[in-house]
Amino acid sequence: MNLSELPTPALVLDVERVRRNAERMQTRVSRMGAHLRPHIKTHKCVEVARLQTSAQSPSLTVSTLAEARWFAARGFTDLTYAVPIEPGKFEAAIELARECERLALLTDDAGIPAELNEAARVENVKLDLFLKVDCGYHRCGVEPETKEAFEIPRRIADASHLRFAGILTHAGHSYHSRSLEELRVFARHERDVMVELAAALRATSIPVPVVSIGSTPTISAVEHLEGVDEARPGNYIFFDAFQATLGSCRFEDCALTVLTSVVHRDSTRRKVVIDAGAIALSKDRGAVDIGDPDCGYGRVLDLEGRDLDLRVGSLSQEHGIVETLDGALFDRLKVGTRLRVLANHSCLTAAQHPHYNVLDAGLIVDRWLIQRGW
Ligand SMILES: Cc1ncc(COP(=O)(O)O)c(C=O)c1O
């Protein structure tokens, strides 16, 4: 099947670019002496995970227990569930831990170790638990210089049915970097804060088996990973318009687009409407604050992937509005014309769809399922 035969809107995944992105990140992280544990929240897809992990050590980071169940049932049994655990999920997590070679959880709450330990004791399982650290993002995590940063690991290490897995952070604030130099500052900080905390914990006789860090921007920019055991970037496998603007990749590295059709043309206002609206693209605002204030909701490409220098300027549920067309281009875009949109944030775009249409050498060669839900 070729791109003009696929019903729209539809996700198109350029598998050659996925392979290239996977290989580059694997090489980069291995050269720096760390283990790559990719975050699969970006794609939620077993076939993509197989491309980004080696058969010998297929370890992953997941963002939902639904992902964990789906991947564990398909042979990925070394998992880190990278959202803080809460009591309502203890039962499901314990059940899953029985299926896994290793399921690591994380917490930043001083009350959780005792509660989780009791649940694990009753079920007679032993659970791995990380301390989640805040390295500046201020979303979750304990700040490294607080007493909780020492107290929580101690409580985990002393609990009969828990193992202290180590310390884990995510520099999500790196997405606000305005230059490569600023990004490097965030990247070094993410690494150094964690290496220092690990040393301080070890100095109080708490063994720290794993120092885990990572986001796509910081792992793409960091110069070395001394003292870090594992890296957990996720978005790098597809990249997107935001990452290319930020400087983590080039536009030609972006692997995911949304195939769409023109459904309306307005010659008075020189605009066309496409059938990729907010549900197909997501409403992520993109790089508005970091150098591309007019990024809209995605860049419009032709079927071959050439940038037409147009943006999806506004969205409603099933409509995307593409404005300010020059005369020649407007004349080309008839109702039914196929286009592709490179969206701002590939993780959110992918999560709107049931499957990827896999593009290889210009043809759709396969369909890969996306595991959504919680
Ligand atoms: C805890 C955690 N680790 C790793 C990642 C991967 O980051 P990125 O998508 O920038 O690669 C995320 C992304 O949200 C995350 O929340």
Total structural domains within the chain: 2
- Residues of the chain short of pLDDT 50, as ranges, are none
Cβ neighbours of residue 281 closer than 8 Å, sequence gap 6 or more? 258, 297, 298, 312, 315, 320, 341, 343, 344, 349, 352
What are the beta bridge partners of residue 39?
Answer: 61
Q: Give yes or no: residues 313 and 221 share one domain.
A: no
Say how far apart CA 319 and CA 309 lie, in whole Å: 19
Atom in ligand 1 nearest the alpha carbon of residue 233: 11
Q: Give yes or no: residues 62 and 208 share one domain.
A: yes
Q: State whether residue 320 is helix, strand or coil.
A: strand
Q: Give yes or no: residues 114 and 209 share one domain.
A: yes
- Whole-number Å distance, alpha carbon 234 to ligand 1 midpoint, is 6
Say how far apart CA 294 and CA 235 lie, in whole Å: 22
What are the beta bridge partners of residue 355?
Answer: 369
What pLDDT, on the 0 to 100 scale, is given for residue 325?
77
Q: Which two tokens stand for residue 339?
A: 């286009």
Instruction: Indicate whether 172 belongs to any domain.
Output: yes
Which residue has the least CA distance to atom 5 on ligand 1?
215
Instruction: Indicate whether 243 belongs to any domain.
Output: no
Q: Give yes or no: residues 214 and 342 share one domain.
A: no
Helix axes 112-123, 90-99, angle to 10 degrees: 50
- Whole-number Å distance, alpha carbon 185 to ligand 1 midpoint, is 18
Q: Give yes or no: residues 52 and 91 share one domain.
A: yes
Closest CA to 26 of 46, 42, 50, 47: 50
Q: Which two tokens stand for residue 108?
A: 């930043």
Question: Phi and psi at residue 172, in whole multiples of 5°?
Answer: -65, -20
CATH number at residue 132: 3.20.20.10
Boundary residue ending a domain (182, 205, 236): 236
CATH number at residue 304: 2.40.37.20
Q: Give yes or no: residues 153 and 132 share one domain.
A: yes
Instruction: Indicate whether 241 belongs to any domain.
Output: no
Instruction: Indicate whether 259 belongs to any domain.
Output: yes
Find the distance separating the first CA and the last CA of the chain, reported in whole Å: 33
Strands (E), 4-95: 10-14, 35-36, 59-62, 78-81
- Whole-number Å distance, alpha carbon 316 to ligand 1 midpoint, is 28
- Structural domain including 66 reads 16-236
Q: Which two tokens stand for residue 370?
A: 């996306």
Q: Give yes or no: residues 253 and 217 share one domain.
A: no
Boundary residue ending a domain (210, 236, 262): 236
**CA angle 94–134–49, rounded 5-degree value:** 55
What pLDDT, on the 0 to 100 scale, is given for residue 56?
67
Which residue has the least CA distance to atom 10 on ligand 1?
215
Q: Give yes or no: residues 174 and 255 share one domain.
A: no
Atom in ligand 1 nearest the alpha carbon of residue 217: 10
Say how far apart CA 36 and CA 52 lie, in whole Å: 9
Cβ neighbours of residue 250 closer than 8 Å, sequence gap 6 or more? 244
Ligand 1 residue neighbourhood (C-beta within 6 Å): 39, 61, 82, 170, 214-216, 232-235
What pLDDT, on the 0 to 100 scale, is given for residue 333?
95
Boundary residue ending a domain (182, 207, 236): 236
Which residue has the least CA distance to atom 16 on ligand 1?
170
Q: Give yes or no: residues 135 and 259 share one domain.
A: no
Q: Give yes or no: residues 107 and 172 share one domain.
A: yes
Instruction: Indicate whether 244 belongs to any domain.
Output: no
Instruction: Indicate whether 150 belongs to any domain.
Output: yes
Residue 66 near residue 373 (C-beta atoms within 8 A)? yes
What are the beta bridge partners of residue 274?
Answer: 262, 320
Q: Give yes or no: residues 280 and 136 share one domain.
A: no
Q: Give yes or no: residues 202 and 81 share one domain.
A: yes
Residue 254 near residue 366 (C-beta atoms within 8 A)? no
Q: What is the DSSP letter of 83?
A: S
What pLDDT, on the 0 to 100 scale, is given for residue 251?
96
Instruction: Indicate whether 208 belongs to any domain.
Output: yes
- Whole-number Å distance, alpha carbon 164 to ligand 1 midpoint, is 21
Closest CA to 261 of 199, 331, 337: 337
Instruction: Indicate whether 228 belongs to any domain.
Output: yes
pLDDT tens readout for residues 302-339? 999 999 999 999 999 999 999 877 888 999 999 999 99
